[in-house]
């Protein structure tokens, strides 16, 4: 049976596809969390700023680097990296690692929660110790710098990097930058973001309007996302020309077999349709990375690490991607010029919070293995 309550509270590409990354309407002042979140839009000033910067500086083709820089730079394990930077959306921030917002290490500096949201959404849901970048930094004795935030968009990446660049070596030498991005930038023919589109799939009650049959659900801006991502990656490269960059892909969220027992309200064809859109997004990101022609900037697929462990799995222990998660959300309010972090318990039998359809702790282990293998 299709359940309306779930759709009202689901929402990146973060998805972050973090999406948003995959968030419900965040705070009480937005209808008590009962409408799908529309806040994860591309900030108007971010795209304009990107375009102006590209016009100011001439583009140059960077010759491919050959091999990796060798030598021991003093880290405990002999790794060449002394700094590890984590940027991006909810699939990098660690959203989904914990069921409730109080368990996360950090929700971001409260001072950045202005209307432009330069670093991401209202609350970042950061797991700053157990996600891939921090784990590798600890292993290497390197410094971890963490700016990823739930809801991050392509237009947020340069602002995220600029917030920590003063702590990096000159030109990003001995630095690894890791990120997931682009899921929150997808838009359907009907103008919905990716989390809203998936919520429509889950809550649909009309067989003739199923996800795989409804043209309004078709994603129409892959080309725009590819172009925008390639431009931002080029500018990120200019800021840190000596760093190595790894753009991690997104996992297939559902992965049904004969049925999709783990997700109420979605059939096998709809689940397969959802996963096919993730495949298209990963291909889009891969093409954007390839445009740089730089061997030190690589796309890292994660399909094999997540294979057989989607949200459709009947066994909760086997899911590397959470299904609907109930509980609280965190949000930020401004009172008398100061920002305060608040918590709200969502109501309803299937009220889904921000951890829904994000990697579980096992999922972030899979991300760690994929990142480690790419180095």
What are 36-86's pLDDT values in tens digits?
333 333 333 444 344 444 444 444 444 444 444 434 444 555 589 999 999
Ordered structural domains, the chain, with CATH = 4-25+78-373 (3.40.50.1110)
Among residues of the chain, what percentage have pLDDT more than 90? 58
pLDDT tens across 87-106, in order?
A: 999 999 999 999 999 999 99
Kindly indicate the confidence band of residue 149, based on its pLDDT and cuts at 50, 70 and 90: very high
Least confident of 8-12, 244-248, 294-298, 302-306: 8-12
| Residue 17 clears pLDDT 70, i.e. is over it | no
| Residue 273 clears pLDDT 50, i.e. is over it | yes
Only one residue has tokens 């405990």, namely 76
Among residues of the chain, what percentage have pLDDT more than 70? 74
Q: Could you tell me if 238 and 165 are in contact, meaning their C-beta atoms sit under 8 angstroms apart?
A: no
| Residue 302 clears pLDDT 70, i.e. is over it | yes
Q: CA-CA distances (angstroms) from residue 119 to 95, 113, 200, 362?
A: 15, 8, 28, 26
Average pLDDT over residues 158-162: 93
Q: CA-CA distances (angstroms) from residue 156 to 44, 72, 354?
A: 11, 33, 20
Q: What is the pLDDT, as a whole number, of residue 206?
A: 66
Average pLDDT over residues 152-164: 93
Q: Measured between alpha carbons, how far is 375 from 365 in angstroms, rounded to an integer?
A: 16
> What's the order of all strands across the beta sheet hosting 297-300?
143-146, 83-88, 175-180, 244-248, 297-300
Q: What is the pLDDT, as a whole number, of residue 97?
A: 98
Burial of residue 116, with CB atoms counted within 10 A of its CB: 0-12 exposed, 13-18 middle, 19 or more buried? middle
Residue 143 phi/psi, 5-degree rounding, is -90, 130
Q: CA-CA distances (angstroms) from residue 133 to 73, 176, 179, 338, 370?
A: 18, 9, 9, 31, 11
Question: pTM of this prediction?
Answer: 0.81
Average pLDDT over residues 267-278: 93
Residues in the chain: 375
Q: Measured between alpha carbons, how far is 109 from 326 in angstroms, rounded to an integer?
A: 26
């Amino acid at each position: 049976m299709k359940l309306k309550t779930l759709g009202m509270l689901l929402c990146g590409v973060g998805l972050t596809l973090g999406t948003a990354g995959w968030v419900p309407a965040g705070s009480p002042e937005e209808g008590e969390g009962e409408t799908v979140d529309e806040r994860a839009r591309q900030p108007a000033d971010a795209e304009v700023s990107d375009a102006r910067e590209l016009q100011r500086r001439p583009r140059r083709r960077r010759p491919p680097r050959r091999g990796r820089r060798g030598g021991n730079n003093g880290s405990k394990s002999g790794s060449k990296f002394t700094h590890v930077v984590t940027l991006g959306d909810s699939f990098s921030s660690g959203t989904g690692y914990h069921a409730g917002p109080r368990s996360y290490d950090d929700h971001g500096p409260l001072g950045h929660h202005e209307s432009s949201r330069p670093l991401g959404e209202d609350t970042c849901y950061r797991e700053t110790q157990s996600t891939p970048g921090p784990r590798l930094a600890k292993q290497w004795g390197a410094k971890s710098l963490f700016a990823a935030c739930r809801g991050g968009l392509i237009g947020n990446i340069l602002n995220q990097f600029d917030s920590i660049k003063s702590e990096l070596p000159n030109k990003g030498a001995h630095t690894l930058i890791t990120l997931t991005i682009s899921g929150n930038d997808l838009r359907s023919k009907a103008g919905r973001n990716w989390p809203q589109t998936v919520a429509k799939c889950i809550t649909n009650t009309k067989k003739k309007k199923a996800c795989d049959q409804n043209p309004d659900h078709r994603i129409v801006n892959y080309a725009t996302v590819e172009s925008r991502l390639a431009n931002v990656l080029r500018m990120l490269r200019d800021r840190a020309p000596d760093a190595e960059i790894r753009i991690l892909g997104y996992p297939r969220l559902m992965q049904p077999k004969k049925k999709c027992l783990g997700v109420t309200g979605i059939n096998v064809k709809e689940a397969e349709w959802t996963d096919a859109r993730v495949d298209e997004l990963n291909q889009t990101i891969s093409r954007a990375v390839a445009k740089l022609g730089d061997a030190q900037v690589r796309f890292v697929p994660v399909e094999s690490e997540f294979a057989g462990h989607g949200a459709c799995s009947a066994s909760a222990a086997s899911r590397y991607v959470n299904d609907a998660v109930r509980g609280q959300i965190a949000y930020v309010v401004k009172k008398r010029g100061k920002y305060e972090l608040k918590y709200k318990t969502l109501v309803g039998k299937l009220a889904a919070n921000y951890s829904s359809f994000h990697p579980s702790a096992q999922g972030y282990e899979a991300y760690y293995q994929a990142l480690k293998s790419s180095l």
